[in-house]
């Protein structure tokens, strides 16, 4: 009888872990969709503006903006999509 109960507990635990994993995966997809819908200006305001004033696009050349974007991507933990949108915003 104990073996059956242990199997039920194990199966229940596995099901709970699977459901929990699915929820985490679905939430991360939703977050990615929300981020991809944001403009470079919005992403700048949420990620960069707390430390930096908004610079003029002429502050750096387009190539230098790319370098700045790569440098700040690692510091601000930005995805490639976020970095690219912010850099395009700063180049305008």
Alpha carbon distance, N-terminus to C-terminus of the chain: 71
CATH of domain 38-92: 1.10.760
Q: Report pLDDT for 32.
A: 62
Extents of the domains making up the chain:
1-37, 38-92
- Beta-carbon-side half-sphere exposure of residue 58 (alpha carbons within 13 Å): 0
- In this prediction, residue 22 has a pLDDT band, given cuts at 50, 70 and 90, of confident
Q: What's the CA gap between 27 and 25, in Å, rounded?
A: 5
Query: What is the rounded average pLDDT of the residues 65-86?
Result: 93
């Amino acid at each position: 009888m104990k073996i059956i109960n242990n199997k039920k507990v194990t199966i229940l635990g596995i099901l709970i872990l699977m459901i929990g994993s699915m929820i985490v995966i679905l939430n991360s997809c939703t977050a990615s969709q929300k981020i991809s819908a944001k403009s470079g200006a919005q992403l700048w305001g949420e990620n960069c503006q707390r430390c930096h004033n908004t610079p003029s696009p002429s502050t750096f050349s387009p190539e230098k903006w790319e370098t700045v974007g790569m440098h700040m991507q690692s510091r601000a933990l930005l995805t490639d999509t976020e970095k690219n949108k912010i850099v395009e915003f700063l180049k305008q």
